[in-house]
Amino acid sequence: MRFLMLVCVDDELAGTVDANPAAWVAETTAKRQRIEGNQLRPVSDATTLWPKDGGGTFVSDGPFAETKEQIAGYDILECVDLAEAVEVAAKHPAAGIGAIELRPVWE
């Protein structure tokens, strides 16, 4: 089954800690546990659409949640179960720095 893995770190830590995931990517991709993924641009480059009173949407600057931790990257995992997904996620170099959220894809 597939999981969306969201790597969430403190935006201010970006660039100050060594969390190069290249080795993790190579290993998990080789084992076919990871289908794809990437790092995201910083939240200052984010744009959010919000519902507008009376229908429609409006566009605003910034991420949808003004929290200290922000989504820094995502991966799509292909794992047998949550146990395997947790095992894979724990090996990600960001796992000791920020939160990693695993969301099963509804399928």
Partner 1 sequence: MGVKEAVDEAFRAEWGRVVATLIRFTGDWDLAEECAADAFASALATWPRDGVPRRPGAWLTTTARHRALDRLRSGAAEVNRLRRLAPTVEETVETVETGPDPVPDDRLRLMFTCCHPALPLEAQVALTLRTLAGLTTPELARAFLVPEATMAQRLVRAKRKIRNARIPYRVPPAELLPERTDGVLGVLYLLFNEGYSASTDLLRPALSTEAIRLARVLVSLMPDAPEVGGLLALMLFHDARRATRLDAGGDLVTLADQDRARWDRAVIDEGVAVLDAALSRGRPGPYQLQAAVAACHATAKDADDTDWRRIAELYALIGQLNPSPVVELNRAVAVAEVDGPAAGLALVDALRADGKLAGYHLMPATRADLLRRLGRTEDAAAAYQEALALAPTDAERRFLARRIAELPN
Q: Which residues bind partner 1 (CB under 8 A)?
A: 41, 44-47, 58-62
C-alpha torsion angle, residues 31, 33, 37, 39 (rounded to 10): -80
CA distance 89 to 83: 10
Shortest Å distance, C-beta 52 to partner 1 = 9
- Beta carbon of residue 47, minimum distance to partner 1 (angstroms, whole number): 4
Whether residue 78 contacts residue 35, with contact meaning beta carbons closer than 8 Å, is answered with yes
Least separation in angstroms between CB 51 and partner 1: 14
